[in-house]
Amino acid sequence: MAESKASLAFLRDFLARSTLPPLPGEAPREAATGIAVAARQQGIAGLLHRALDSEGEATSPWPAEVREALARDRRTALARGVRQLALAARVLDRLDRAGLRALPLKGAALLETLYDFEDERTMADVDLLVLDDWPQARALLADDGFVECGRADHAAVLRDPETGAVLELHHSVTSSPGLFPLDRDGLWSRSVPGAGQVPRLPSAEDLLVQLSLHAAFQHGLVLSLAQWLDFRRLLERRSLDPQRLLAASAAARASAPLAAALEAARVVVQAPVPGWLRGVEARSVRLAGRAPLHFVTPAPPDLARVRLSLLRGRRLELLRRTLFAETPGEPASFLHRIGRGAARAARLARHWGPWMLRGALAGAARGRPGCGHVSGTPPRLAQADGILRDLFGGFPFLRLTVTGDCMRPALAPGDRVRLVSREQRPPRVGDVVLARHPEGLRLHRLVWGPPLARLGLRWRTQADRGAIWDPALEPEDVLGTAVEVEGSPGLRALRGRLTSLRSLLRGLRTWMRLERAP
C-alpha cells in the first residue's frame, strides 16, 4: 500500500503534537493500515507502536492486526538498530586502533542520545566520517572483508561481511567535498563521549550543522519524518551553545543550509527553534507557503533550485567542486580531474536533462513489453504491490533472481540482484529498477526519470538489449532500485561512472528512431 497523503499528514501531526491524533471516523481500519505502512516507510513504526502501547489496548480503535504488525516492526527495528550501532562501534574501534580518528554521522550519532530506545528511529545504513587518512581507512576495512558496493564523491558504500549491514565511510559530510569546509581537528576536539555503544559523538552544535547540510544541500530539504524528528529531538534534548553553533556554522560556510533546514524542521515537526537562531541567515531558501508535506519523502526534491539558492554568490564554486571533486587517494593530475569531471557531468544529466524534448515523448509508448522477467514472483505476487512495498519497508534489501537475457551484460539469467526501496535509493536515470508493467514485474533500466517527470513527462524504462521503450510508467510503478548483484567473489555494484549518460543517450536514440519510423 502506498503512503497516502492522509497517512503522512497523520504521522506528521503525531510528531508535531507528540500525542496520537484520533483515527479518521470513516474507515478507521483502512486508515490504520495505511498509517502503519507509512510509519514503516518513514522510519517511525517503533515510535508509533510505543505511542499505541501507552494508550492501552482495551479502548484503542486501532485494529489488533495493525498493532501486531507494528509490534513486529518495532522488534525488527530494535534488533537492527542495536546491530547497526554495534557495527559503528566496531569500525570506530578498528580505526582508532590504527590511529585514525572518525566520528559517527546522522542516525548513528543520534540514536543513543536523542531517542529512548533503538527501535524508535530506523537507520538505512551506518554513516561514519573519517577525519584522518580516508584511503587508509578504506583499505583497512577492505582487509577486514568489507565489500565496496558503491562510491559517491564524498563516501564509499561498504558492506559488512559479518552482518550484511551497509556502512557509508565518508570523507566529507556532503557531496562536492570542500564546498562546506571540514574543521577536522575542531570536530574531534569538540566531540563528546557517547552514552552507549558508540564511543564518541560530534558535539551538539556540530551535529546540527551536519544534519542541516545533509537535509538542505544533500536532499534538497526533503527528508523522511524520522530525519526531521532528529532536528526536533536535538533542539529539545541537547543544550546548544549559541557562540559555538554560530562559529561552527560559519567555519563550515553552512549558515544558509542551517537556516533553511531549521525553518523546514519547524514547519514539518514544529522543531523548537530558539529565537537566537531564527534569521541566522536572512538570505536563505524561500520556504514560505510550502505545505509541510512538501518537505517529506516521497515528495520530489527540487535539488538544483535549493542548491543554487543555498549557494548564491558561490555557484561557480559549486560547479567546479561538483565536476572536479577531489577524492582522497585518487590521482589529482589535470587529466585525471578532467576525466572525472566528464563522468560527473554525465551524472548531472539526471538533473539537467535535455529540456528541448519536453512534451515530445508522450507518443512514444509503442514498445513491446520488455523481456526482463523476474523469476520467483508468481503472477499473484507480481500484482501484489502491497506485499512488495511492505517487504521493502521491512527489510534492508530484497533479493531476486533474473531470468531472460535482455539486460546482458549488466544482468545475466540466474544473477541474484539485491534491491532496495525507492525511498532508500530514489531511482535515477541509469538505475536498473523493479517496475510494474502490464505483463508483470520487470527489471529494466530507467532511461527517463526525475526531475524531468516534474515537467509532465512520464518515466521510461528499457531493456539494455531492447530496441524500444517499455510502456510509460507512473513514478509509483517503480517499486525498487537494484543496487548490487551477488556473485563470486562478492557483490558488484550495478552502476558505473558513465551509466547515467549512457542510459540517457540510449533512451534518446530510441526516441529518435521511433520518431523517424513511418
Partner 1 sequence: MVGRRIGGEYILVPLVGWGADLDSIFNLNRVGAFVWERLDGGTNGSAIVDGLVDRFAVDRETAEADYVEFIEHLRSIGAVTGPTPL
Binding site for partner 1 (CB under 8 A): 1, 33, 65, 68-69, 72, 80, 163-165, 374-377, 380-381, 384, 386-387, 390-391, 394-401, 418
Phi, psi (degrees; rounded to nearest 5) at 423: -75, -40
Between residues 359 and 386, which has the closer beta carbon with respect to partner 1? 386
List, in order, residues 6 or more apart from 154 with CB less than 8 Å away: 170, 171, 172, 173, 174, 175, 176, 177, 325
| 333/424 Cα distance (integer angstroms) | 35
| 166/156 Cα distance (integer angstroms) | 10
- The least CB distance from residue 13 to partner 1, in Å, is 24
Between residues 292 and 480, which has the closer beta carbon with respect to partner 1? 480
User: Is the sign of the CA dihedral 393, 397, 399, 405 positive or negative?
Assistant: positive
- The least CB distance from residue 397 to partner 1, in Å, is 4
- The least CB distance from residue 169 to partner 1, in Å, is 19
- The least CB distance from residue 14 to partner 1, in Å, is 22
Between residues 51 and 381, which has the closer beta carbon with respect to partner 1? 381
Closest CA to 186 of 169, 213, 210: 210
- The least CB distance from residue 396 to partner 1, in Å, is 5
Three cell numbers at 236?
A: 529539545
Three cell numbers at 164?
A: 550484511
List, in order, residues 6 or more apart from 136 with CB less than 8 Å away: 98, 100
Between residues 262 and 419, which has the closer beta carbon with respect to partner 1? 419
The helix (H) or strand (E) run that includes residue 308 is: helix 303-310
| 173/181 Cα distance (integer angstroms) | 9
List, in order, residues 6 or more apart from 427 with CB less than 8 Å away: 433, 446, 449, 450, 459, 478, 481
Total Cβ atoms within 10 A of residue 455: 12
- The least CB distance from residue 120 to partner 1, in Å, is 19
Number of residues in the chain: 518
Between residues 474 and 486, which has the closer beta carbon with respect to partner 1? 486
Q: Are 283 and 256 in contact (CB under 8 A)?
A: yes
Three cell numbers at 330?
A: 585518487
CA distances to 74, 141, 200, 236, 507 from 93, in Å: 28, 12, 10, 30, 47
Between residues 345 and 391, which has the closer beta carbon with respect to partner 1? 391
- The least CB distance from residue 479 to partner 1, in Å, is 11
- The least CB distance from residue 7 to partner 1, in Å, is 15
Angle at the Cα of 437 (from 433 to 439), degrees rounded to 5?
A: 130
Strand, helix or coil for residue 498:
coil
- The least CB distance from residue 351 to partner 1, in Å, is 30
- The least CB distance from residue 163 to partner 1, in Å, is 7
Quote the crossing angle between the two packed helices 255-269 and 303-310, to the nearest 10°.
Answer: 130
Q: Which DSSP state fits 165?
A: -
Q: Which DSSP state fits 176?
A: S
Between residues 220 and 404, which has the closer beta carbon with respect to partner 1? 404
**Residue position matching grid coordinates 590521482:** 331
Between residues 331 and 376, which has the closer beta carbon with respect to partner 1? 376
- The least CB distance from residue 111 to partner 1, in Å, is 17
- The least CB distance from residue 436 to partner 1, in Å, is 14
**Residue position matching grid coordinates 526536533:** 232
Cis peptide leading into residue 489 (ω within 30°): yes
Between residues 308 and 387, which has the closer beta carbon with respect to partner 1? 387
Between residues 49 and 502, which has the closer beta carbon with respect to partner 1? 49
Three cell numbers at 165?
A: 549491514
